[in-house]
Amino acid sequence: MTPFKVGMRIDFIRDNMPPLKSPNTDLIGAWLAVGGQLLDEENFHDTVEETTDGVRRQVIWSVKGDVLARVGDEEVNFEEFRRRWLSDSWRAENPTHWISIQRAQRDYTVNLKTWLKEQKPCALIRKGKRHVVIHPDLSDEQKQKLINQL
């Protein structure tokens, strides 16, 4: 059990999404990357409860709220880091700030992974030292034309 001290601040981040799909996991990862900390123990709970309304999932991250992390030229607590991370207007006003860059990288990665899920692998056909790459959406005529060029 984490030893609690008088004046210790704990910030909780909650949602009901699977942790690998939750944007909160990205927020926590960014916070840890700049030196933020979770509680030493009991810092993550992923629970599933059977209720009269059906199954209810709850994911909770417990952050040491009084820890300051180094972000660029300043130190910020988790509350401020989270505010900036979530604020489109703050990031637009501070596009070169480390938090803005981290968030942009996260957003681009999420979009890239979404795009990649829609992509189909191409066929690579070799003949001697020559090769062709055939996209699966090409017509049979276009595929055959490429193969004939080998």
User: Are 21 and 37 in the same domain?
Assistant: yes
Number of domains in the chain: 2
Amino acid present at 33? A
For residue 114, pLDDT beyond 90: yes
pLDDT category of residue 149 using cuts at 50, 70 and 90: confident
Range of the domain at 137: 120-150
Q: Is residue 98 part of a domain?
A: yes
Per-residue pLDDT at 3? 62
* 71 within 8 A of 101, measured Cβ to Cβ: no
Distance of alpha carbon 101 from alpha carbon 45, whole angstroms: 29
Q: Is residue 5 part of a domain?
A: no
**Counting beta carbons within 10 angstroms of the beta carbon of residue 99, is it exposed (0 to 12), middle (13 to 18) or buried (19 or more)?**
buried
Q: What is the pLDDT of residues 10-20, one digit of tens each?
A: 999 999 999 99
User: Are 89 and 19 in the same domain?
Assistant: yes
